[in-house]
């Protein structure tokens, strides 16, 4: 009996497989993995904080009440107050803005520069390739944070300079990844077909090759957001963050908290937790995307 | 093998030249006249002229480039603007402190990371596995400088087990070294686990078991010896992270190493020091990568390099 029903079962199985291929299968894998969902929730939470900050902050993040300085967490101030009486919960909520803003800007620039240089380098080869990849090698021979510190130190601590410095040290990784993908993709038959149809180099690169290498690159960029957030926080912690006092940042809060670790444990505790949970969220999400989209680690 | 090693060493030359060029350009994007800027208000024209000569900025860019390169090759990195002592001497004082901290952190990372990875892989899905995966996740997500502050509060101020800060090759080393080791420990643990898991599924492991070998012997002789290469690779690539990590740790724990020297030099605008230190960090990192490349064929005889 079982033997008779087997073919139909197989057909059904194939149907199910076909129906759930591609993006749907990826989505199911993302939602099916608890760690990825946790990552997604953490990232979503951080983004929601940044957007809703003015609405949900219980206090003003910049002006404090001096009489309330250095208060331990309580019902009035859930995360306590700092040395000049500012509410730490409100500052942590607002701090998500600058972290995400810088991290996303850096990744956008890195992505754009890395993709274009990687495409050009891999597609044309020759001396263009040699020059781009030599420069990439040299930039990669500096420890990332060290050169970022030196750049921001020399250029000056503004938000733009921090973004430029972090993007300047991150593009080679995306360029390298893109280039390695182009090298294998440009030998594919559909590229030859496009060329024989008279497509220009730009059309082949951006219309035919680019969409096929986007997945691993996007996974890489997601996985490295956490690192950018940590680098930005490290710069601010070292006193090299944006000097704009109207914008609280987690790294800057930790820098200010250094002097109060003997008396106010809550001052460094909460901003640090915020950094860790946000970075953890992006790392979990990146790991999940990589598994769901079946990207082999490069 | 000898030819490969030689080749790899020769490849260092263009890389180092590139690093030098980048640092040179970095110091030239300074706005305004560096000599005027460095001299400050109270220095006279003579001092400024002398400064300018020592920086070679009174010469065309190309001459500056060659002049500074030749100075560097003769071991002359200029003098610190703050202490007026040679940059090389200043670095020489701080480097041993950083080396002790970094090597201790490395020993902790390997000493805990590898065994944890082995336990996690051989007892997959056990409580140990879960714990070590959690450590790996937190290790790459935790800000080093925050971990440092928390360690200071908990073990230094509350429990009073270790000194909170300061230099000393005794219990002063404990908290900074643990703090600096965290990122590397997480990466090494993760890599040990995943490469061991790959290998434990190989045919030759089944063969080893079917020969009647004990699990311990299979794990050590057959599995672990094959997992060494990926572990060494990730160890090498995480040296950069360790360098950045020790920098932050040195700042938090007032450890007088080259990392803190760099941060101090930047805040004091001591550019010759910044220049020398950035060159040093890049050199250490490049040399580490070269050593790892050279070590590959020694660790895994399956890898052969031609020419």
Q: pLDDT per residue over B84-103, tens digit each? A: 889 999 999 999 999 999 99
Mean pLDDT along residues A178-202: 88
Mean pLDDT along residues A59-73: 82
Say how far residue A275 (Cα) sits from the centre of its chain.
13
Beta carbons of A234 and A251 less than 8 angstroms apart: yes
Tell me, what's the pLDDT at B248? 92
- Identify which of A145, A155, A239 has the shortest CB distance to residue B267: A239
> Which of B146, B180, B288 is the best mutation test for A, with the most CBs of A within 10 A?
B146
On chain A, the residues whose CB falls within 8 A of the CB of B149 are 254, 257-258, 261, 268, 272
Beta carbons of B152 and A261 less than 8 angstroms apart: yes
Q: CB within 8 A of A227, min separation 6: which ones?
A: A144
Mean pLDDT along residues B99-119: 92
CA angle B301-B305-B307, nearest 5°? Answer: 150
Q: At residue A298, does pLDDT exceed 60?
A: no
Tell me, what's the pLDDT at A138? 84
Inspect the interface and report whether the beta carbons of A254 and B27 lie closer than 8 Å: no
Q: At residue B35, does pLDDT exceed 80?
A: no
Please choose, from the candidates B259, B232, B292, B233, the residue with its C-alpha nearest in 3D space to the C-alpha of residue B102.
B259
Give residue B69's pLDDT band: very low, low, confident or very high (50, 70, 90).
Answer: confident
Percent of chain B whose pLDDT exceeds 90? 23
Mean pLDDT of chain B: 83
- Identify which of A145, A154, A261 has the shortest CB distance to residue B149: A261
Q: At residue A257, does pLDDT exceed 70?
A: yes
Percent of chain B whose pLDDT exceeds 70? 90
* Main-chain dihedrals φ then ψ at residue A297, nearest 5 degrees: -65, 135
Mean pLDDT along residues A2-18: 47
- Identify which of B18, B27, B262 has the shortest CB distance to residue A138: B18
Rounded to a whole number, what is the distance in Å from the CA of A60 to chain B's nearest CA? 25
Q: CB within 8 A of A34, min separation 6: which ones?
A: none
Tell me, what's the pLDDT at B57? 65
DSSP single-letter state for residue A23: H
Chain pair A-B, CB pairs under 8 angstroms: 123
| Alpha-carbon span A60 to A247, nearest angstrom | 11
Higher pLDDT pick, B25 / B150: B150
Please choose, from the candidates B130, B131, B83, B140, the residue with its C-alpha nearest in 3D space to the C-alpha of residue B109.
B140
* Main-chain dihedrals φ then ψ at residue B86, nearest 5 degrees: -60, 135
Higher pLDDT pick, A63 / A119: A119
Dihedral of alpha carbons B201, B203, B204, B208, sign: positive
pLDDT tens-digit readout, A222-246: 989 999 999 999 999 998 887 777 7
Higher pLDDT pick, A7 / B110: B110
Tell me, what's the pLDDT at A140? 84
Q: At residue B307, does pLDDT exceed 50?
A: no
- Identify which of B22, B157, B240 has the shortest CB distance to residue A262: B157
| Alpha-carbon span B117 to B136, nearest angstrom | 10
Inspect the interface and report whether the beta carbons of A254 and B143 lie closer than 8 Å: yes
Instruction: Report the residue of chain A nearest B245, measured CA to CA.
Output: A145
| Alpha-carbon span B17 to B66, nearest angstrom | 11
Rounded to a whole number, what is the distance in Å from the CA of B258 to chain A's nearest CA? 11
* Range of lowest pLDDT (A124-128, A141-145, B54-58, B179-183): B54-58
Say how far residue A271 (Cα) sits from the centre of its chain.
19
On chain A, the residues whose CB falls within 8 A of the CB of B21 are 138
On chain B, the residues whose CB falls within 8 A of the CB of A276 are 138, 141-143, 146
Q: Please state the pTM of the whole predicted model.
A: 0.86
Tell me, what's the pLDDT at A277? 96
Inspect the interface and report whether the beta carbons of A262 and B281 lie closer than 8 Å: no
Rounded to a whole number, what is the distance in Å from the CA of A158 to chain B's nearest CA? 15
| Alpha-carbon span B164 to B303, nearest angstrom | 47
Give residue A2's pLDDT band: very low, low, confident or very high (50, 70, 90).
Answer: very low
Rounded to a whole number, what is the distance in Å from the CA of B257 to chain A's nearest CA? 14
Rounded to a whole number, what is the distance in Å from the CA of A195 to chain B's nearest CA? 36
Q: Give helix A250-257 / helix B144-151 axis angle, nearest 10°.
A: 30
pLDDT tens-digit readout, B192-243: 888 888 888 888 888 888 888 888 777 777 777 777 877 887 887 788 778 8
Beta carbons of A226 and A283 less than 8 angstroms apart: yes
Give residue B32's pLDDT band: very low, low, confident or very high (50, 70, 90).
Answer: low
Give residue A8's pLDDT band: very low, low, confident or very high (50, 70, 90).
Answer: very low
pLDDT tens-digit readout, A88-143: 899 999 999 999 999 999 999 999 999 999 999 999 988 999 899 988 988 887 78
Tell me, what's the pLDDT at A228? 94
Residues of B contacting chain A (CB within 8 angstroms): 14-15, 18-19, 21-22, 26-27, 29-30, 137-138, 140-146, 149-150, 152-153, 157, 240-241, 243-244, 247-248, 251-252, 262-263, 266-267, 271, 274, 278, 281-282, 285-286, 289
On chain B, the residues whose CB falls within 8 A of the CB of A147 are 278, 282
| Alpha-carbon span B237 to A141, nearest angstrom | 11
Integer-rounded Cα radius of gyration of chain B: 24
On chain A, the residues whose CB falls within 8 A of the CB of B22 are 138-139, 142
pLDDT tens-digit readout, A192-205: 898 888 888 888 88
Inspect the interface and report whether the beta carbons of A151 and B263 lie closer than 8 Å: no
Instruction: Report the residue of chain A nearest B151, measured CA to CA.
Output: A261
Inspect the interface and report whether the beta carbons of B267 and A153 lie closer than 8 Å: yes
Helix (H, G, I), strand (E, B) or coil at B78: coil
pLDDT tens-digit readout, A48-57: 999 998 898 8
Give residue B306's pLDDT band: very low, low, confident or very high (50, 70, 90).
Answer: low
Inspect the interface and report whether the beta carbons of B29 and A155 lie closer than 8 Å: yes
Tell me, what's the pLDDT at A225? 94
Of the spans A31-35, A96-100, A140-144, B266-270, which averages the highest pLDDT?
A96-100
| Alpha-carbon span B142 to A101, nearest angstrom | 20
Tell me, what's the pLDDT at B55? 65
Quote the ipTM score.
0.83
Helix (H, G, I), strand (E, B) or coil at A21: coil
| Alpha-carbon span A67 to A51, nearest angstrom | 30
Tell me, what's the pLDDT at B43? 63
Please choose, from the candidates A254, A250, A255, the residue with its C-alpha nearest in 3D space to the C-alpha of residue A275.
A250
Percent of chain A whose pLDDT exceeds 70? 91
On chain A, the residues whose CB falls within 8 A of the CB of B26 are 150-151, 154
Inspect the interface and report whether the beta carbons of A154 and B247 lie closer than 8 Å: no
- Identify which of A154, A265, A279 has the shortest CB distance to residue B153: A265
DSSP single-letter state for residue A72: P
CA angle A96-A101-A103, nearest 5°? Answer: 95
| Alpha-carbon span A175 to A132, nearest angstrom | 9
DSSP single-letter state for residue B306: -
Q: How far is CA A282 from CA A287, A289, B114, B150, in A?
A: 8, 10, 26, 23
Give residue B305's pLDDT band: very low, low, confident or very high (50, 70, 90).
Answer: low
Q: At residue A68, does pLDDT exceed 90?
A: no
* Range of lowest pLDDT (B24-33, B96-105, B141-150): B24-33
Distance between start and end Cα atoms, chain A: 49
> Which of B16, B17, B31, B145 is the best mutation test for A, with the most CBs of A within 10 A?
B145
Mean pLDDT along residues B9-33: 76
| Alpha-carbon span B187 to B171, nearest angstrom | 26
Rounded to a whole number, what is the distance in Å from the CA of A141 to chain B's nearest CA? 6
Give residue A41's pLDDT band: very low, low, confident or very high (50, 70, 90).
Answer: very high
Q: CB within 8 A of B202, min separation 6: which ones?
A: none
């Amino acid at each position: 009996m079982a033997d008779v029903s087997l073919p139909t079962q197989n057909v059904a199985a194939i149907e199910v497989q076909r129906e759930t291929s591609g993006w749907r299968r990826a989505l199911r894998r993302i939602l099916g993995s608890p760690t990825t969902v946790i990552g997604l929730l953490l990232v979503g939470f951080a983004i929601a904080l940044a957007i809703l900050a003015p609405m949900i902050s219980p206090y003003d993040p910049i002006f404090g009440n001096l009489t309330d300085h250095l208060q331990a967490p309580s019902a009035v101030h859930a995360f306590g107050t700092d040395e000049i009486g500012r509410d730490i919960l409100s500052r942590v909520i607002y701090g998500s803005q600058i972290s995400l803003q810088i991290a996303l800007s850096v990744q956008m620039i890195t992505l754009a520069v890395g993709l274009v240089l990687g495409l050009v380098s891999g597609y044309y080869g020759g001396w263009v390739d040699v020059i781009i990849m030599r420069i990439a090698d040299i930039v990669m021979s500096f420890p990332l944070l060290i050169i970022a510190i030196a750049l921001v130190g020399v250029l000056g601590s503004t938000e733009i300079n921090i973004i430029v410095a972090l993007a300047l040290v991150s593009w080679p990784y995306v360029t390298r990844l893109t280039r390695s993908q182009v090298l294998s993709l440009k030998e594919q038959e559909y590229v030859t077909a496009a060329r024989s149809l008279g497509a220009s180099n730009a059309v082949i690169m951006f219309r035919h090759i680019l969409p096929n290498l986007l997945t691993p690159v996007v996974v890489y960029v997601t996985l490295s957001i956490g690192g950018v957030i940590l680098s930005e926080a490290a710069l601010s912690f070292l006193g090299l963050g944006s000097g704009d006092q109207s914008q609280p940042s987690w790294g800057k809060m930790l820098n200010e908290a250094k002097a109060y670790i003997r008396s106010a444990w809550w001052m460094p505790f909460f901003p640090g937790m915020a950094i860790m949970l946000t970075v953890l969220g992006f790392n979990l999400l990146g790991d999940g995307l990589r598994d769901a989209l079946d990207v082999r680690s490069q | 093998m000898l030819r490969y090693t030689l080749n790899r060493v020769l490849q260092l030359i263009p890389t180092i030249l590139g690093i030098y060029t980048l640092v040179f350009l970095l110091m030239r994007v300074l706005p305004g006249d560096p000599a005027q800027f460095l001299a400050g208000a109270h220095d006279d024209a003579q001092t400024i002229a002398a400064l300018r000569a020592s920086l070679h900025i009174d010469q065309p860019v190309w001459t500056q480039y060659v002049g500074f390169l030749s100075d560097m090759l003769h071991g002359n990195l200029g003098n610190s603007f703050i202490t007026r002592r040679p940059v090389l001497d200043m670095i020489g004082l701080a480097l041993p402190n950083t080396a002790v901290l970094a090597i201790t952190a490395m020993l902790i990372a390997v000493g805990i990371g590898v065994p944890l990875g082995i336990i996690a892989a051989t007892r997959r899905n056990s409580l140990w596995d879960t714990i070590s995966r959690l450590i790996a996740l937190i290790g790459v997500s935790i800000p080093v400088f925050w971990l440092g502050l928390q360690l200071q509060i908990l073990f230094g101020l509350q429990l009073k087990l270790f000194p909170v800060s300061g230099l000393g090759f005794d219990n002063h080393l404990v908290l900074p070294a643990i703090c600096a080791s965290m990122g590397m420990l997480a990466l090494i643990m993760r890599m040990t686990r995943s490469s061991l898991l790959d290998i434990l599924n190989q045919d030759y492991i089944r063969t080893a078991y079917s020969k009647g070998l004990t699990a311990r012997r299979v794990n050590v002789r057959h599995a672990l010896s094959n997992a060494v290469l990926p572990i060494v690779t990730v160890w090498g690539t995480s040296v950069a992270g360790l360098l950045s990590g020790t920098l932050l740790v040195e700042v938090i724990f007032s450890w007088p190493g080259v990392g803190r020297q760099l941060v101090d030099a930047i805040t004091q605008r001591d550019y010759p020091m910044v220049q020398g230190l950035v060159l040093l960090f890049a050199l250490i990192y490049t040399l580490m990568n070269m050593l790892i490349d050279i070590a590959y064929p020694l660790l895994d005889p399956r890898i052969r390099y031609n020419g």
